[in-house]
């Protein structure tokens, strides 16, 4: 619908969603590209709601959000309930297959010390061909360095 991703990421997301649909599962791109202003407003709302320290655990400041790259997607099932996405068949499928389409679970459990963000089972990042390697080797440390290099360009 009105969700936007970079062309390659969008194509791969659509391929993944089609593969799932053929197995009777349906996902949505719940949140994709966000402008600087949108992210600024979102972050400020979270700070007002939960305080600075807590908001820092789950929301990126404007200018630092992966959503601003057009490569991140918050995946939802039919319920559109992110908090319960982990309990769905869709999550299980995506968790075990997203890497085949160039996506990785960006904020996995027990990786706060690496990512700086709490566990978000719905947040996937398009990284392309390296996704298979990251997935099989659980290498978010390498991924973090690649993001840093990308943001410094």
Six-digit token string for 137 = 């080797």
pLDDT of residue 139: 72
User: 149 an active-site residue?
Assistant: no
* Structure confidence by residue, pLDDT tens digits, 43-52: 999 999 999 9
**Token reading at 78:** 């039919």
User: In angstroms, what CA-CA distances link 55 with 46, 51, 78, 136?
Assistant: 6, 6, 27, 31
The answer, yes or no, to whether residue 152 has pLDDT greater than 70, is no
- Higher pLDDT: 83 or 1? It is 83
∠ CA 81-110-70, nearest 5°, is 55
Residue 112 CA to residue 118 CA, distance in Å, equals 6
Of the pLDDT bands very low, low, confident and very high (cuts 50, 70, 90), residue 5 is very high
* Span 32-36, average pLDDT: 96
Of 56, 120, 149, 152, which is the active-site residue? Answer: 120
Residue 142 reports pLDDT greater than 60: no
Query: At 119, is the pLDDT very low, low, confident or very high (cuts 50, 70, 90)?
Result: very high
- State residue 119 phi and psi, 5-degree precision: -60, 125
- Model's pTM, two decimal places? 0.86
Work out the percent of the chain whose per-residue pLDDT is above 90: 75
Q: Is the pLDDT of residue 130 over 70?
A: yes
- The per-residue pLDDT for 2 is 81
The answer for residues whose C-beta is within 8 angstroms of residue 11's C-beta and 6 or more apart is none
pLDDT score at 57: 94
């Amino acid at each position: 619908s009105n969700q936007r991703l970079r062309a390659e990421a969008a194509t791969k997301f659509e391929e993944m969603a089609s593969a799932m649909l053929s197995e009777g599962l349906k996902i949505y791109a719940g949140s994709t590209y966000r402008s600087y202003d949108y992210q600024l407003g979102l972050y400020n709302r979270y700070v007002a709601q939960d305080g600075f320290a807590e908001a820092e655990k789950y929301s990126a400041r404007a200018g630092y959000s992966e959503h601003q790259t057009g490569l991140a997607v918050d995946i939802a099932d039919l319920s559109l309930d992110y908090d319960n996405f982990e309990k769905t068949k869709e999550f299980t499928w995506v968790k075990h297959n997203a890497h085949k389409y160039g996506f990785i679970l960006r904020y996995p459990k027990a990786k706060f010390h690496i990512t700086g963000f709490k566990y978000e089972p719905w947040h996937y990042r398009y990284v392309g061909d390296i996704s298979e390697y990251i997935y099989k080797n659980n290498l978010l440390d390498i991924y973090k360095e690649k993001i840093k290099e990308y943001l410094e360009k």
